Amino acid sequence: MTEKPWGGVFREATDQRVELFTESISFDRRLYRQDIAGSIAHARMLAAVGLLTRDEAAQIVKALEEIREEIDAGNFEFRVGWEDIHMHIERVLIERLGDVGRKLHTARSRNDQVATDFRLWVRDAIDTILPLVRKLQAAFVNRCEADFDCVLPGYTHLRRAQPVLAPHYWLAYCEKFERDYQRLLDCRKRVNICPLGSAALAGTSLPIDRHMTARELQFDEPSPNSIDATSDRDFAVEFVFDLALLAVHLSHWAEEWIVWSSEEFGFLKLPEGFCTGSSIMPQKINPDVLELIRGKTARVLGHLQQLFVLLKGLPLAYHRDLQEDKPGVFDAYDTVVGCLEVAIPLVELTELNRSRIEESLERGHLDATTLMEYLISRGIPQRTAHSLVGRIVREAMDRQCRLADLPLEVFRMADPSLDANVYSVLGVKNAVQAFRSYGSTCPEEVRKQVERWRERLARDLGA
């Protein structure tokens, strides 16, 4: 029988099956640094308000620091019967300090303790992931110069639509990842609230200083309502939502580059160090890293769903259900960090297959829209211009040629006043140049985007 800190009222020992079923140490050991940081702040606060002597607090802080070093070094025994990380650390503290150790849990409960630990952990996780997002954006931005003159077919419905500059594509991803970045930063504000001192749910009758604890842990402020603070896991849902959308954005990109690096498209050459082979087909060089990025997105989305379902219908305040909040959050974080860590070098090292892109570029009449807009600028109503160009495109299809290869009389059938100047918007290179609206794909606009990104990243990366 393992002695429990909560065992006073019990006359029977905990069934071993229950110990196995209820333990969380197998995963919440991951919170040990946060748990110890929270306890140190709590001990200092207890001393400041006179609930511990200075000497007692100093002993506690010192012992906790030693425990942290032991866990860091792998010299700490974890036991299922000791339930969770909070009880492990407290138990060892009591073993070492006796009655002084028994005072640490004054004016707190595991309910506010775990909420505090988890918020500290999510805050650290956000602080780790933000620079990785920036690095991924930098990888795209750093390609822009070398890829600047490369025109790619832009797609809608995965059908050729309009020509775009390669850096315009790269920066489209930067914008998506920027929203992820800003969302995480914004989430951090709501994470950074200190529940410690809310105790079990109602607070405490002891004269604690919650503002001090919050300050010690670099939280922005103490939580204003103890019942909410011990039951709230919104911050975890928000965090996983932000990760899920980030993962979805990664999956867009991964899917696109899987397609673009296929034999059929041939636009990209993936670095071989980031591909794997087949055990039966000797010729295969597969994009497994990109496939796994796409595939792992599913796990992150699953964790978001699990958290929502976990929380749905729970009355106030703490319930043991909440213990189930951590594994999915940890895994969502690990998964997204893992994806980012391989996405960054993939973006850096993948090469454009310019000759393949060039030779296919004139297929699909990517210049049809600029031709239509040319007619519009000469006073033809859009709907009319659209259908005239539709007929011209049909003519080109029948002749199996580009719009630019059609003789002038074909264009004159649409608009008799047209002259050879019409060819200035035809051909993919001309078509790209013809764009001019803010945020569009013409070189001047894309150049502005690149500059904006360079400045933003330089500011943030301190480069």
Residues near ligand ARG (CB under 6 A) are 24, 28, 84, 110-111, 114, 318, 320, 322-323
Please report how close the Cβ of residue 296 comes to ligand ARG at its closest, in angstroms: 25
Please report how close the Cβ of residue 172 comes to ligand ARG at its closest, in angstroms: 41
- Residue 243's closest CA among 304, 290, 186? 304
Residue 437 annotated as catalytic: no
Please report how close the Cβ of residue 79 comes to ligand ARG at its closest, in angstroms: 14
Q: Select 28 or 232, whichever has its Cβ closest to ligand ARG.
A: 28
Amino acid identity, position 319: H
Q: Select 202 or 461, whichever has its Cβ closest to ligand ARG.
A: 202
- Residue 188's closest CA among 219, 222, 215? 219
All residues at 6 or more sequence positions from 391 whose CB lies less than 8 Å from its CB, including other chains:
414
Q: Select 112 or 180, whichever has its Cβ closest to ligand ARG.
A: 112
Please report how close the Cβ of residue 324 comes to ligand ARG at its closest, in angstroms: 8
Q: Select 180 or 331, whichever has its Cβ closest to ligand ARG.
A: 331
In degrees, rounded to 5, the angle at the alpha carbon of residue 96 between the alpha carbons of residues 92 and 97 is: 115
Q: What are phi and psi of 276, to 5 degrees?
A: -135, 165
91 sits in which H/E element: helix 85-97
Which residue in the list 39, 88, 109, 157 is annotated as catalytic? Answer: 157
Which whole-number Å values give the CA distances from 197 to 91, 224, 343, 352, in the listed order?
20, 11, 42, 57
Residue 278 annotated as catalytic: yes
User: Which neighbouring-strand residues pair with 159?
Assistant: 156
Which whole-number Å values give the CA distances from 321 to 31, 102, 255, 309, 317, in the listed order?
18, 27, 37, 11, 11
Please report how close the Cβ of residue 51 comes to ligand ARG at its closest, in angstroms: 22
Q: What are phi and psi of 423, to 5 degrees?
A: -70, -15
Looking only at the bridges linking them, the beta strands covering 193-194 and 221-222 are: parallel
Q: Select 68 or 88, whichever has its Cβ closest to ligand ARG.
A: 88
Q: Select 201 or 275, whichever has its Cβ closest to ligand ARG.
A: 201
Please report how close the Cβ of residue 107 comes to ligand ARG at its closest, in angstroms: 16
Q: Select 37 or 114, whichever has its Cβ closest to ligand ARG.
A: 114
What is the 8-class DSSP label of residue 75?
A: -
Which residue in the list 86, 198, 249, 278 is annotated as catalytic? Answer: 278
- Residue 32's closest CA among 105, 112, 114, 129? 114
Structure tokens at 314: 């729970």
All residues at 6 or more sequence positions from 142 whose CB lies less than 8 Å from its CB, including other chains:
348
Residue 266, Ramachandran bin (φ over 0: left; ψ between -120 and 50: alpha; else beta): left
Query: How far is it, in rounded angstroms, from Cα 393 to Cα 368?
Result: 7
Cβ(183)–Cβ(214) below 8 Å: no
Please report how close the Cβ of residue 8 comes to ligand ARG at its closest, in angstroms: 15
All residues at 6 or more sequence positions from 145 whose CB lies less than 8 Å from its CB, including other chains:
450
Catalytically active residues, by annotation: 157, 278
